[in-house]
Amino acid sequence: MIELTRKLTETWGPSGYEHRVRKLIQDEVKDLADEITVDPLGNLICRVGGKRSDGGTKIMIAAHMDEIGVMTTFVEPKSGFLRFANVGGLIHTTLIANRVLFEDGTIGVISVQDLWGGARTNVPNLDDFYIDVSDGNGTGKVQPGSPGVFYQRMEQRGTRLIGKAMDDRIGCIVAIETMRRLKKKTKNEVYFVFTVQEEVGLRGARPAAYNVDPDVAIALDVTGTGDEIHGRKMAVKLGDGAAIKLNDPGLVVPPAIRDWMIERAEKDKIPYQRELLVAGTTDASGIQMARAGVPSGCISIPCRYVHTTSETVDTRDVEACIALLTGLVKNPVKL
């Protein structure tokens, strides 16, 4: 699991350009699914198990493949510095001196106008930042419209995994490892969907849910924690188990879904936490409104420093999420 997490988090894949991540996942799960398709938007859809017509429940599992990043908008004519727009939710205070990787392999460095002046103590506007891709020979090849992601290696510190794009490659890991444990054996009709463009508006999950037409859905995504110094008041801690979502700004989890997850966790003696998130949402928010409506919940992986290059998760939480999801999709669904 550790090495697969390393491969996934270090793979280039901003919103709308998930093809490299999709290929890696497709190669990983090709022997774990009964059927694999890619829809017109780029979602990877993997069916495992029986058929709803045979008495099972059609379950959709969603984990998004994309990551936040940037897109170049303008090349300064004299310096060659790149101006850029955000792809997803950038945190401006984390940008200075970060490195950006473009698809052609070019690595740039983000800086800001007046670095040693006002930018030291004030949060600059995005228009004040630029990316330096100069090579000393005046041969920069990055053009407007080029997407990039933040460049960072994954590191392991005890049970902690630290890297960029844990949001939501670690959710993809939970889905893949659950598929591995199922070994294609479940009476439910389970669709593991690796979605696109979540970071720019849940754009992949909605059409995927319309296509799958599930009875129930579970999103897999990261959530913040409340265990940092002077942090938010939130009852989620790193290392305390799977976070079962109760509510976020885009999703009120139906009580039946909440109870289904909690009862399974308690029956299987899986450590869990109750999650109430006051900012942000997941693919479940889009899935719940597909067709005539889909009862939807979310298993969240606790994560510190979300939307930075040092997103931090705990392998014990990841294992708890895998165990919980496996139990939910393997057994009869009674809502």
The predicted model gives 6-31 an average pLDDT of: 98
What's the confidence (pLDDT) of residue 88? 97
The predicted model gives 116-120 an average pLDDT of: 75
> pLDDT tens-digit profile of 320-332?
999 999 999 999 9
Helix axes 166-182, 2-10, angle to 10 degrees: 140
Residue 180 has pLDDT above 70, yes or no: yes
What's the confidence (pLDDT) of residue 141? 84
**Can you name the residues that pair with 272 across neighbouring β-strands?**
242
First to last CA, the chain: 32
> pLDDT tens-digit profile of 219-278?
999 999 999 888 788 989 999 999 999 999 999 999 999 999 999 999 999 999 999 999
> pLDDT tens-digit profile of 62-108?
999 999 999 999 999 888 899 999 999 999 999 999 999 999 999 99
DSSP string computed for 86-98: EES---GGGTTT-
Q: What is the DSSP letter of 81?
A: P
What's the confidence (pLDDT) of residue 231? 76
What's the confidence (pLDDT) of residue 139? 67
- Structural domains present in the chain: 2-67+164-330 (3.40.630.10), 69-150 (2.40.30.40)
Provide the b/e sequence for 175-207 (b: ≥16 CB within 10 Å).
bbbbbeebeeebbbbbbbbbbbbbbbebbbbbb
Q: Is 195 left (phi over 0), alpha (psi -120 to 50) or beta?
A: beta
Q: Are 83 and 74 in contact (CB under 8 A)?
A: yes
Q: What is the DSSP letter of 276?
A: E
> pLDDT tens-digit profile of 128-170?
999 999 988 876 789 999 999 999 999 999 999 999 999 999 9
Q: Give how far Cα 154 sits from Cα of 2, 101, 102, 119, 268, Å.
A: 10, 15, 18, 29, 31
d(CA 175, CA 182): 11
Q: Give how far Cα 3 sits from Cα of 6, 84, 239, Å.
A: 5, 32, 20
In the chain, % of residues over pLDDT 70: 99
Q: Are 310 and 162 in contact (CB under 8 A)?
A: yes
52 pLDDT tier (thresholds 50, 70, 90): confident
Q: Which residues belong to the active site?
A: 198
Q: Give how far Cα 272 sits from Cα of 44, 53, 218, 241, Å.
A: 28, 33, 16, 5
Residue 176 has pLDDT above 70, yes or no: yes
If we measure between CA atoms, which residue out of 210, 213, 296 comes closest to residue 252? 296
d(CA 295, CA 252): 10
Peptide bond into 168 cis (omega under 30): yes
> pLDDT tens-digit profile of 283-304?
999 999 999 999 999 999 999 9
